[in-house]
Structure 1
Amino acid sequence: MSTKIIILSIGVLLTLLALLGSIKGSSGKGLIGSKLGVPIGIIGVLMMIFGSYSSDLVNYNTQIEQVSIGKKLKIEGSVDAVKVVSPIDKDSVDCRILTMGVYPESHEEDIWVIIRPTDDRYYPQSDHTNTSYKRDGEWQVVTRFGGDKGEVYDLIIYETDSEASAFFSSTIEKWKEADDYPGLQLEEMPKGAKEVERIKIYTRKNCRGIF
């Protein structure tokens, strides 16, 4: 459980304690005096506000509105392999984009987008579904960049088996709980992840520290 969720939970408990303490008993007095109950209630409400607005419960919806789409590649004919449609190679993109692509009808593996910035580490990308969303031959996943304006990234597409997908998902959860995203070294990448495409893109804005 992350620190933010713990703060939110404590805030709820303190608020409930203050409310229950204000209920008057048979003697006409509350279980908790107003001098103690009011500060407890105020602290509880403040902790709830802080916990909610600093957690993914609120941030997810606000970030969704900021997603942009890069240039699109025109696909003609039948699809015989996993392919990136947007962004295209050498594209300049915003700090938060929707990476999209196509896959053949018989494709069963999970699809992951991994970005590799100039620190030479690998960062699996996900939204609330973790793996890329797949349907009717198309896939997509929210992709975030946190570097300087004009920084170059390798955007790498991987096909993964169930073990590799579980590794990426658990890694993201650990990073979120710690609120620290150190990236993966090449030797840490799971064996069940197979690279199928790699393109280079650039950030058109300064994205450092916005997420």
Structure 2
Amino acid sequence: MIYASYSSDLVKYNGHIEQVSIGNKLKITGPVKAAKVISPVDKDSVDCRILTMGVYPELSEKNDIWVLIRPTDDRYYPQSDHTNTSYKRDGEWQVVTRFGGDKGEAYDLIIYESDATASSFFSATIAKWKEEDNYPGLKLEEIPSGAKEVDRIKIYTSKNCRGVF
């Protein structure tokens, strides 16, 4: 019965399960004073899809955390999973981050704390890009004023990720 359901399309299933890797992790000691990336670490080489993780102080509970990547084209690409904003809970956050460049390409991985207006802008931008199947990136001046940079690291792709997505 189950086989018949799958083979006849009566049951819908996710044909593509995204696999993500986890990079090296920074050890944090003492109280957290600002949102910070703990994985991957600065100057790390990463796979095409990674789980970017970090920490945030209690005072940042009301702001959303967004990861933006800036490859060599000097454009900014907000990253999201199904929730659009980074998942936050108990002082930790995470989001799936996707890279599309050549092996060894350098990226700035930038963390922003965003108010509701900036967060809505990033969500709407991603939705528009998905609908149009076109991801042109943002210029620095297009990033809303309600998004404040709080951390930045440099990372490199460990394999050719061009055309993966």
The aligned counterpart of 2:90 is 136
What is the rounded CA distance, in whole Å, between the counterparts of 2:24 and 2:95 in structure 1?
15
What is the rounded CA distance, in whole Å, between the counterparts of 1:104 and 1:197 in structure 2?
13
More strand by percentage: 2
What is the rounded CA distance, in whole Å, between the counterparts of 1:151 and 1:81 in structure 2?
28
Alignment of structure 1 residues 169-180 onto 2, 5 Å: 169-180=123-134
Q: Give the alignment partner of residue 77 of structure 1, picking from 30, 37, 41.
A: 30
Cα 1:102/1:168, change in 2 over 3 Å: same
What is the rounded CA distance, in whole Å, between the counterparts of 1:179 and 1:126 in structure 2?
15
Answer yes or no: is 1:187 the counterpart of 2:131: no
Q: Give the alignment partner of residue 146 of structure 1, picking from 100, 123, 129.
A: 100
The aligned counterpart of 1:205 is 159
- Structure 1, residues 154-210: CA drift from partner, whole Å, max 9, x if none? 000000000000000000000001111010011111111100111000000000001
SS at match of 2:163: coil
Q: What is the root-mean-square deviation in Å for CA atoms of aligned residues?
A: 1.5
Count of aligned positions: 155
Unpaired runs of 5+ in structure 2? Answer: 1-7
TM-score w.r.t. the length of structure 2 is: 0.90
Unpaired runs of 5+ in structure 1? Answer: 1-44
The higher radius of gyration belongs to 1
Structure 1 stretches of at least 4 aligned residues deviating more than 6 Å after TM superposition: none
What is the rounded CA distance, in whole Å, between the counterparts of 1:82 and 1:200 in structure 2?
16
Shift of 1:58: 3.9
The aligned counterpart of 1:106 is 59
**Higher RCO (CA < 8 A, seq sep 6+):** 2
SS at match of 1:177: helix
Shift of 1:105: 1.6
Shift of 1:148: 0.1
